[in-house]
Amino acid sequence: MTIVIRVAEKAFLSPAPSASLDRYAHAAANLLCLNPLMSPAIELRGGELLVETSHPVLAAVTGPAAVAVDGRKAGTWSALYVERSLSVFAEGRAYVSVRGLRAPAERKVPLSSGVELSTEPNGQNGVSGRLLAALKVPPSLLSDNGDWLQAAHRLQRYFELLTDIVQKGAELVRVSIGGVEYEAWVLEVS
């Protein structure tokens, strides 16, 4: 299965977080779309990216960017279900990961319009709407605090625990404390 790059301005295919300028944002994008931590991602350096897919994919964008999925505005630092197209306008360094993305090279390479990248066939691959809604980086985990790998492992553990409780039937509730809205996952235990 393939994704086609329609527009690529200041965009690079990075084979692993260790080759990226912001290693944590690269790793977080991978974890959000359920890829292994060290998978490839697309690095944008204040540029633009438009991707079209031949099939639905699970994707994620991290970093400062304006994002549209299938023509609708979407957020960053969360998993995205893309049926046809993903558009990203990066304001700084941003990372785009697609579930099952493969890197044809072992070093960072520039991307250009017309390039086709392969993905492992998986689409949403059993990711429920509830889990999709849960796959977002909480504010307390947006920074690597100087150690990208430790922060990435913390985020990976968070997603493992979150996936487990969502699969066990946890429900998302929103609560307001002191005028600030928080999200919490609640699991009834009997």
pLDDT tens for residues 50-107?
999 988 999 999 999 999 999 999 999 999 999 999 999 999 999 999 999 998 778 9
Q: Which amino acid appears at position 156 of this protein?
A: Q
pLDDT value at 180 more than 80? yes
Q: Which of 153, 72, 178 is nearest to 80 (CA)?
A: 72
Same domain as 108, residue 32: yes
CATH number at residue 96: 2.60.120
Same domain as 144, residue 104: no
Tell me the pLDDT tens digit for each residue of 26-65: 999 999 999 999 999 999 999 999 999 988 999 999 999 9
Mean pLDDT across the chain: 93
Same domain as 111, residue 73: yes
Residue 105 has a pLDDT of 75
Contact of 128 with 28, CB cutoff 8 Å? no
How many domains is the chain partitioned into structurally?
A: 2
